[in-house]
Amino acid sequence: MKEDIVITKMEINKFLYAMIGRAELVDVWWDSANKQFGMKTPNEIYLANADGRKKVYDYVLGCSDGYW
């Protein structure tokens, strides 16, 4: 049986906070148009479906590892 992994905003925010350094800027990031997501906000992509959540997570994780 395949288990689905739940990716929460809290988990993603840990990486964002480490990169950005201020909680209010993390909130702004979620609601800002992003080239990576076709100028949609990360929040729009995250809320769309499980694939969207994975896409946002992978993007943030890659950025935290230096894959700008």
Total residues found in the chain within this entry: 68
How many Cα atoms sit within 13 Å of 47 on the Cβ side? Answer: 7
pLDDT in tens, 3-62: 556 789 999 999 999 999 999 999 999 999 999 999 999 999 999 999 999 999 999 999
Q: What is the pLDDT of residue 30?
A: 98
Q: What is the pLDDT of residue 65?
A: 84
Q: What is the pLDDT of residue 68?
A: 59
Q: What is the pLDDT of residue 66?
A: 78
Q: What is the pLDDT of residue 49?
A: 95
Q: Is residue 3 situated within a structural domain?
A: no
Q: Is residue 29 situated within a structural domain?
A: yes
Q: Is residue 38 situated within a structural domain?
A: yes
Structural domain count of the chain: 1
Q: Is residue 1 situated within a structural domain?
A: no
Q: Is residue 44 situated within a structural domain?
A: yes
Q: Is residue 51 situated within a structural domain?
A: yes
Predicted TM-score of the model (pTM):
0.86
Q: Is residue 4 situated within a structural domain?
A: no
Q: In terms of residue numbers, what domain contains 16?
A: 9-64
Q: Is residue 2 situated within a structural domain?
A: no
